[in-house]
Amino acid sequence: MGLAAYFLEKFSTWTDRSFLHKDDGGLESKYSLDELLTNVMIYWVTSSTVPSMRFYKENFSRDPGLTADSRVGLYVPTGIAAFPQELAHTPRTWAKENFKNIVTYSHMPRGGHFAAFEEPELLTRGIMHFVRKVNLHFKYTHGMEAKV
């Protein structure tokens, strides 16, 4: 019950902050109860709750200037999808400091932290747009089709 309460609170508040003011946390505004229970059960039966929290502990609880990518920079082609209800927004000007090869930076019309669960079509379109641009660049610079 505790694990379900923990995740249901995240699905409420990390999807849309306005859900905090709804009696049911707005849970069924985006998800069905079956989808929510399935997601909680995946964490339960795979014992993946602690590993899922590790990212947040390692990336949000210390000086962001200490991370390896902020000291060195990432030069791989990067696509960023900016969802309006995401917990922490990274403006493009800030992202360029760490990500040296931003191919796409897309402002999404809706969605929050659980984009793949909340807005799978939007996220898929964003990923496909990124892949097409990388593929075109590869084809242009190498004179051939990239294998995806």
Query: What residues does each domain of the chain span?
Result: 1-61, 64-148
The set of residues, in sequence order, having a beta carbon less than 8 Å from that of 4 and lying 6+ positions away, is 37, 40
Q: Over the stretch 87-97, which tens digit does the pLDDT of each residue have?
A: 888 899 999 99
Q: What span, in angstroms and rounded, lies between the C-alpha atoms of 77 and 131? A: 10
* Residue spans of the chain under pLDDT 70: 61-71, 144-148
pTM for this structure?
A: 0.78
Beta bridge partners of 78: 102
